Amino acid sequence: MRLRFTKMHGLGNDFVVIDAVRQSVDLTPERVRRLADRHFGIGCDQLLVVEEATRPDVDFRYRIFNADGGEVEQCGNGARCFVRFVHEQGLTAKREIRVETRSGIIAPRLEDDGLVTVDMGVPVLEAARVPFVSDSDAVVQPLQVGDASVAITAVSMGNPHAVQVVADVDAAPVAAQGALIERHPRFPARVNAGFVQLVDAHRIRLRVFERGAGETLACGTGACAAVVTVILRELAQSPVRVETRGGELDIAWGGPGQPVLMTGPAVTVFAGEIDID
């Protein structure tokens, strides 16, 4: 089976994007893993599939698969690439698009300067809905990770995040601790593990060990969850610029019950065709 694809990235968080509106696509977890493989496939952190909407009040459906083959609920950098993709492919002329994802509707908007702003929805802070096993919804909660007890904030941006504040993000044990947090038994759906360093009230530095992909150069939902965390902990104020290893994102959040707005770039790298059998 031959598949047309586009390679894109948002701050180095890279994607294989597939138009399933104009070609029929049959993806299995094994095929996703093969396409995402950096040695035997195209290589990406996530594979994004653009489909026809299944309901009248949205423009498209957008599905997200991690490099490990698992389908997940949300992807922030992917949402920015999605809106650029549907424009470049001539699938729509609209600059503001409503799109259904596994975790609900998000609204990306292509700005005049080429950046994309996405209304990522209202963050979920109740432990049970993240999901995080805890008898409390406290903002800061202890989590035993190997020999260390770390203080995390559990946030869902549609997908689950465990965010901790560290003194120096470059020295943080992202690989070792991230892998343990990702599969921690208190996160039954697994989790993305964020490590945040405060720079000032409007700037943070962030690294994220992503569920199903390992550490990526940037994570959009991770940046939203990190900003929600530092605002809830009264360490920063909206808007917050987030420095990642792949570049910068601007995040605005008005507090509990309000949606998170994320602004950043989306880049097309190349297009191609691959035989997925």
Ligand X SMILES: N[C@@H](CCC[C@H](N)C(=O)O)C(=O)O
- List active site positions: 75, 219
Q: Least distance from C-beta 158 to ligand X, angstroms?
A: 8
Is there binding between residue 99 and ligand X (CB under 6 A)? no
CB 132 to ligand X: min, Å: 14
Residue 66 near ligand X by CB under 6 A:
yes
Counting contacts by CB under 6 A, is residue 220 touching ligand X? Answer: yes
The C-alpha atoms of residue 199 and residue 158 are separated, in whole angstroms, by 27
- Total residues at the site for ligand X (CB under 6 A)? 20
Question: DSSP letters of 112-181?
Answer: TTS-EEEE--PPB--GGGTT---S---SSEEEEETTEEEEEEEEESSSEEEEEE-S-TTTS-HHHHHHHH
**Cβ(25)–Cβ(4) under 8 Å?**
no
**Which x/- pattern over 139-178 shows residues binding ligand X (rule: CB under 6 A)?**
--------------------x-------------------
Q: Report if residue 46 touches ligand X, rule: CB under 6 A.
A: yes
The answer to whether residue 212 forms part of the interface with ligand X (CB under 6 A) is: yes
Q: Which is nearer to ligand X, 213 or 226 (CB)?
A: 213
Q: Which of 77, 101, 153, 244 is in the footprint of ligand X by CB under 6 A?
A: 77
Is the distance from CB of 71 to CB of 78 less than 8 angstroms? no
> Among residues 145 and 219, whose Cβ is nearest to ligand X?
219
For ligand X, which residue of 211, 217, 232, 242 counts as binding (CB under 6 A)? Answer: 211
Of 13 and 177, the one with the shorter C-beta distance to ligand X is 13
Q: Which stretch binds ligand X (CB under 6 A): 24-32, 73-81, 236-244, 259-267?
A: 73-81
Of 83-91, 110-118, 210-218, 239-247, the window that binds ligand X (rule: CB under 6 A) is 210-218
Q: What are phi and psi of 78, to 5 degrees?
A: -65, -35
Task: Find residue 216's DSSP bridge partners.
Answer: 208
Q: How far apart are CA 143 and CA 163, in angstroms?
A: 11
State which of positions 183-202 bind ligand X (CB under 6 A).
192
- How is 208-265 classified by DSSP, letter by letter? EEETTTEEES--HHHHHHHHHHHHHTTS--SSEEEEETTEEEEEEE-STTSPEEEEE-
Tell me the C-alpha distance between 5 and 40, whole Å: 16
Nearest Cα neighbor of 76 from 197, 203, 235, 246 is: 246
Q: Choose between 1 and 188: whose C-beta lies nearer to ligand X.
A: 188
Binding segment for ligand X (CB under 6 A), chosen from 31-39, 168-176, 212-220, 262-270, is: 212-220
Is 6 annotated in some ligand binding site?
Answer: no
- CA distances in angstroms from 115 to 109, 120, 161, listed in the order given: 9, 15, 25
Annotated binding site for substrate: 13, 46, 66, 76-77, 159, 192, 210-211, 220-221
Residues that bind ligand X (CB under 6 A): 13, 45-46, 64, 66, 72, 75-78, 159, 192, 210-213, 216, 219-221
